[in-house]
Amino acid sequence: MKRFFLTLAVAGLSLGAHAVTTAPNNHTTQSTQHSEADSVAMYDNIGAIEVVALRADSSSAVAHSNLGRKEIERNSYGTDIPSLLALTPSLIATNETGIGIGGTSIRLRGTDATRLNVTINGMALNNPDSHSTYWYDTPDLISAVGDVQVQRGAGISTNGTGAFGGAITMTTATPATDFGGEASLSYGSYNTNKQALHIGSGLMGGHWTVDARLTHIGSDGYIDRGATDLKSYLLQGGYYGSRTSVKLLSFGGVAKTNLTYTGVTKEEMELYGRRYHTEGQYETSNGPFVLADGTHVDYYDDQTDNYLQINNQLIVNHRFNDHWQMNATGFYTYGYGYYKQYKAERTLLEYGNLGITDASVEADMIRRKIMLNHTYGLNASAHYRTERLSASFGGSWSGYQCPHWGEIDWVDGFQSSDVAGRWYDNDVRKQDANIFAKAVWSVAKGLNISADLQYRVVKYRAWGVNDNFDWNTMQMQSIDVDKLYHFFNPHVGVNYHFAQHHTIYGSFAMANKEPTRADFTDRYMFAKDDSEPRPERLFDYELGYRFASERFDAGVNFYYMQYRDQLIPTGMVNDSSDALNVNVPDSYRCGVEVTLGWKIAKWLTATGDVTLSRNKIRNYVDLLADSPTYGENLGTMTIAYSPSCIASLGFDFHIKGFEALLHTRYVSKQYLTNNQIDALTLDGYCVTNLNLGYTLRLHGLRSIRFGATIYNLFNAEYCSNAYGYSYMWDGVRYDEAYYFPQAPLHCLANVTIKF
């Protein structure tokens, strides 16, 4: 009810402000009208200016897919952005809660999220420490995005951090030129709900805009105790002149998600159902669940991940003349959050602030793992364009600092004064800078040659005491990382457009990437020596063909990605469910991507794509200390989490105001480790979603759209992700795997009113 009155208040204030700012001016001169027309032209072109250095286009020799506002709106009922990205070739979306909200992530060509660069208006969303993008830290960002481009392979090297296996570039939607807004409500299975309000002033006085958005997303989740509570905002104000625009943007929110990252075994699913997991579980005398041995179980009700993130951007664009333009973006991101966890029967020696020296003393506890981060920096570039030459050059710099520490809220049998202080405390500093130059030269009609060069320097320091207890030294793990990396990332390509509908292209790119924080701090969990992770290098070869006509388009792209010292997932995870990776000297990913689109009739379009690939390690030597095959050369093995086939088929039916989109996606079997063990696999799956919508045009409103999405239409029982490992204990081999089941048939309905 409070949310409803707040929505009415915001709408009323905005309407009042609009009534004042749009009062007629009888003294508008012809020169003012001309100036306003120029500013509108600048306004309409602003999105292209902001991302010109990051985007591939029809003249680029880069495999890429574009998603426009129509596809975005169809998928903005409440699910996270990975659900939208999964509509593009070679990409897989995963989720912990089973319904596409909360702990979501992606893999592209088998490459995980830590190696995929994600930007919004040119600002990286990847965490500089873990290199991952945590989509629920920017709730409902999908509703604010105007368009998305997914680049496969090394892509445009100006992307910077994490652009190793692909890149995702997003821009926020340019505010409308007229006053308006929208209100959106969603509700569906598992109490999934969304309430959103958006108000935009339009162009005031021909130059100024103000835009605001408030959203709440909630869900109980398919997985038991997988609730998500997300609150977000977006505010932007801008000035648009005939040659210059200045935009100030702030977006972010508060996320509270129940921890579900431990997964569930197949045996547990058989005993207790697919929604079961053990996070926060403890035994009581009268709990609601009964285990196989007859004991009763209850759960700690605040087993949660809590995070506040605020992103701020100041974007300046200037057009000097018809040939030259520039843009600069300053940014600052504040983040603060913590895990709150119940841990049963913990060895108290591992918590130095408790003063326990006896390794046999155990007790239940509630603890918090906390982080506070600041990310800031500047991106700047200049762009030159003539009929035959397009060139960009510039650079970026960013700084990052993030202390990590742990506090204990409660220990069974202890007074609150006995558990004060921090049980671990460490800090991180990172500096990341690069300069780049890129050009596309039209050598002859239809023939373009491109070159893209980037030089990048990374300074990374981490020090202090980590949360891992070292049983060899009988102390908390000490962190002492001080690294300086120099990377050169070139990209060259040729693109030839001929006979009106045909294009062929080829490219070569080299990309380099530094290890993540976990690669340094958690290496001891599987390595027998004290070696350190090495940076990775990629040599990416791409060759493609595209056919595009009014009613039919098709493309085929061949890729060969050769790696040196690729950091591949072992199947193991750390205490926070981050993947543990190991360098392999020689590995590759190669495949073919085929895309098709056919406008069968005015009211029916069919699309499809398929990726067939081989993802291999040459002469793989198992270096996992507890593995049954430790030290053995296993020969050529398949890289973990790399399906050999990803395919999709879609039909888009649309007539008058009605539309229906049927989309089916197939993902083949994946190994969880690099040993090709059948007991440690993620089964292949095929999932179909049906998206329905009907739009009404009414007097006084722009539109009312009623929509409903039926997910997993054919009720498939499948898991989108898992982790696992093998080990020896008392001469016996054990293979353990933990899965993340997805919801059976479920739905989410929406109504959106645009005014």
pLDDT digits (tens, 9 = 90+) for 472-501: 788 899 999 999 999 999 999 999 999 999
pLDDT digits (tens, 9 = 90+) for 14-24: 333 333 333 33
Residue 286 has pLDDT above 70, yes or no: no
- 3 pLDDT tier (thresholds 50, 70, 90): very low
Q: Structure tokens of 13? A: 């204030």
What local confidence, expressed as pLDDT, does residue 699 receive? 85
Q: Structure tokens of 170? A: 């997003």
pLDDT digits (tens, 9 = 90+) for 366-414: 999 999 999 999 999 999 999 999 999 999 999 999 999 999 999 999 9
- Give CA–CA dist 388/450, Å, rounded: 12
What local confidence, expressed as pLDDT, does residue 23 receive? 38
The end-to-end CA distance of the chain, in Å, is: 22
What local confidence, expressed as pLDDT, does residue 45 receive? 59
pLDDT digits (tens, 9 = 90+) for 257-272: 999 999 999 999 998 8
- Give CA–CA dist 700/753, Å, rounded: 11
Of 2, 249, 22, the residue nearest 121 (C-alpha)? 249
pLDDT digits (tens, 9 = 90+) for 631-670: 999 999 999 999 999 999 999 999 999 999 999 999 999 9
Give me the phi and psi of 6, to 5 degrees please.
Answer: -65, -40
pTM metric for this prediction: 0.91
Residue 200 has pLDDT above 50, yes or no: yes
What local confidence, expressed as pLDDT, does residue 550 receive? 93
What local confidence, expressed as pLDDT, does residue 577 receive? 78
Share of residues in the chain with pLDDT > 90 (%): 80
What local confidence, expressed as pLDDT, does residue 4 receive? 34
- Give CA–CA dist 257/262, Å, rounded: 14
Alpha-carbon distances, residue 1 vs 13, 14, 340, 486, 529 (angstroms): 19, 20, 29, 55, 59
- 159 pLDDT tier (thresholds 50, 70, 90): low
Check: CB of residue 410 under 8 Å from CB of residue 420.
no
What local confidence, expressed as pLDDT, does residue 471 receive? 84
Exposed/middle/buried for residue 612 (C-beta within 10 Å: 0-12, 13-18, 19+): middle
What local confidence, expressed as pLDDT, does residue 156 receive? 79
What local confidence, expressed as pLDDT, does residue 38 receive? 55
What local confidence, expressed as pLDDT, does residue 495 receive? 96
- Give CA–CA dist 643/90, Å, rounded: 10
What local confidence, expressed as pLDDT, does residue 10 receive? 34
Summarize the confidence of residues 423-434 as an average pLDDT. 96
pLDDT digits (tens, 9 = 90+) for 111-153: 999 999 999 998 999 999 999 999 999 999 999 999 999 999 9
What local confidence, expressed as pLDDT, does residue 21 receive? 35
pLDDT digits (tens, 9 = 90+) for 333-344: 999 999 999 999
pLDDT digits (tens, 9 = 90+) for 722-740: 999 999 998 899 999 999 9
For residues 5 and 428, the model is more confident at 428
Summarize the confidence of residues 414-435 as an average pLDDT. 95
CA angle, residues 452, 453, 458, in degrees to nearest 5:
135
What local confidence, expressed as pLDDT, does residue 55 receive? 80
CATH superfamily of 2-754: TonB-dependent receptor, beta-barrel domain (2.40.170.20)
Check: CB of residue 291 under 8 Å from CB of residue 283.
no
Residue 12 has pLDDT above 50, yes or no: no
For residues 613 and 37, the model is more confident at 613
When the pLDDT of each residue in the chain is averaged and rounded to a whole number, the result is: 90
CB atoms within 10 A of CB 37: 12
Please state whether beta strands 64-67 and 536-548 pair in parallel, antiparallel, or not at all (unpaired).
Answer: unpaired
What local confidence, expressed as pLDDT, does residue 158 receive? 61
What local confidence, expressed as pLDDT, does residue 643 receive? 98
What local confidence, expressed as pLDDT, does residue 58 receive? 79
Q: Structure tokens of 65? A: 């897919």
For residues 11 and 527, the model is more confident at 527
Domain positions in the chain are 2-754
Residue 223 has pLDDT above 90, yes or no: yes
Summarize the confidence of residues 530-543 as an average pLDDT. 95
**Under 8 Å CB-to-CB from 604, ≥6 apart: which residues?**
651, 652, 653, 654
